[in-house]
Amino acid sequence: MQVIRAPRFSGFCGGVKRAWTIALRTRAVTEGPVYLSGELINNGPAMHELEERGLSVLRVIDGEVPAVPGTLVMRAHGESPVTFARAQELGLPIVDATCGIVRAVQQKAKALEESGWQVILYGHHDHPEARATIAYTQHGLIVDSLAEAEALTSFERIAALAQTTVLLADYDQICEVLKTKTSELANHGQICAWTRMAQEEAAALALECSVVVVVGGRGSSNTRRLVDVASEHVPTYLVETVEELEPGWFQASSVVGVCAGASTREGDVASVMARLETLGQEMNVRTAE
Ligand code: SF4
């Protein structure tokens, strides 16, 4: 068995690395409790580690910030203006770990609406980034699918935006439908470069392999897109941790590609790589016997 890792874009992206560092540094230098406004990143095992290291998750929904006695770290996906305002009203010290790319999309959504555009964002209704971004507008809409885009009424001018982790090809299809809903469509969609390149790498890796393992959180949008991309070519399995690897997925002749979502810790990728190497050696020994 041969094991190949996606060479450049697997594991923590810049935005996650920054949020992780900010959260842990805040914990280290702050007296009293430190809270996260929600899951800092979409990865269960990584969030478990942060909780073990003294960061508590508040899970703020729609600006309902509880009156807690501590510092509040805003997560990488961003939070709504209502959440920031409520935390300020409560006098909570705020540390903002919003990814700069997400912050730019939020500001763009607000500015476009103020200039008279109907903002329509392609993203997932239940995803914290999409919800927080659209909360910077008064009338912005999220569309999650082609069917939802087709069901829209018409608007004078539409400004299209995208959740930073969606597939570019899917977003382009949504824009084609939006063109039929207005005489003026401005395309401002910005898929994060890390996400795009990770998807390209996953597709290229899948072409070289007979099976792909994606390491990452089940709730992570960018991780699920890697699964979508790789599974177009070969059987693809998503694991959060090494314990979930099933030996039955592989054969001695397998060429296994490993890639990882933007919120996957290096240790989780390394453990999966090491386990696959061991499995491969065991299979080679059995084949030789
Ligand atoms: S995937 Fe891109 S947009 Fe999302 S946190 Fe990472 S760098 Fe920021």
The pLDDT tens digits for 215-267 are 999 988 899 999 999 999 999 999 999 999 999 999 999 999 999 999 999 99
Is the CB of residue 199 less than 8 Å from the CB of residue 262?
Answer: no
Per-residue pLDDT for 289 more than 80?
Answer: no
- Model pLDDT, residue 190: 85
- pLDDT band of residue 186 (cuts 50, 70, 90) is very high
User: Selecting from 3.30.70.100, 3.40.50.11270, 2.60.40.10, 3.30.1330.60, what CATH number does the domain 14-98 have?
Assistant: 3.40.50.11270
Is there a shared CATH topology between the 2-11+193-288 domain and the 101-187 domain? Answer: yes
- pLDDT band of residue 42 (cuts 50, 70, 90) is confident
CA 9–ligand 1 middle distance (angstroms): 12
The Cα–Cα gap between 205 and 199 comes to: 10
The residue to mutate among 18, 41, 79, 102, having the most atoms of ligand 1 within 8 angstroms of its beta carbon, is: 102
Any ligand 1 atom below 6 A from CB of 198: no
Mean pLDDT of the chain: 94
Q: How many CB atoms lie within 10 A of CB 104?
A: 13
According to CATH, the topology of domain 2-11+193-288 is Cobalt-precorrin-4 Transmethylase; domain 1 (3.40.1010)
The Cα–Cα gap between 167 and 233 comes to: 16
Tokens of 24: 């842990």
CA 194–ligand 1 middle distance (angstroms): 7
Catalytically active residues are: 129
- Model pLDDT, residue 286: 76
End-to-end CA distance of the chain: 16
The residue to mutate among 99, 105, 124, having the most atoms of ligand 1 within 8 angstroms of its beta carbon, is: 99
Is the CB of residue 102 less than 8 Å from the CB of residue 78?
Answer: yes
Query: What pTM value is reported for the model?
Result: 0.89
Q: 252-264 burial by CB neighbour count: b if 16+ within 10 A, else e? A: eebbbbbbbbbbb
Give the range among 8-12, 66-70, 103-107 with minimum mean pLDDT.
66-70
CA 39–ligand 1 middle distance (angstroms): 14
- Which of 86, 4, 109 lies closest to 37 in space, CA to CA? 86
The residue to mutate among 21, 166, 194, 199, having the most atoms of ligand 1 within 8 angstroms of its beta carbon, is: 194
- Model pLDDT, residue 248: 95
The Cα–Cα gap between 154 and 43 comes to: 38
Q: Which residue has the higher pLDDT, 127 or 65?
A: 127
- Model pLDDT, residue 161: 98
CA atoms lying within 13 Å on the CB side of residue 68: 21
Q: What percent of the chain has pLDDT over 90?
A: 85
Instruction: Output the residue whose Cα is nearest ligand 1's atom 8.
Output: 15
Domain 101-187 listed as CATH 3.40.50.720: no
Listed by start position, the domains of the chain span: 2-11+193-288, 14-98, 101-187
- pLDDT band of residue 285 (cuts 50, 70, 90) is confident
- Model pLDDT, residue 214: 98
Per-residue pLDDT for 288 more than 80?
Answer: no
CA 152–ligand 1 middle distance (angstroms): 29
Per-residue pLDDT for 287 more than 80?
Answer: no
Sheet containing 118-122: which strands, arranged edge to edge? 141-143, 118-122, 157-162, 184-187
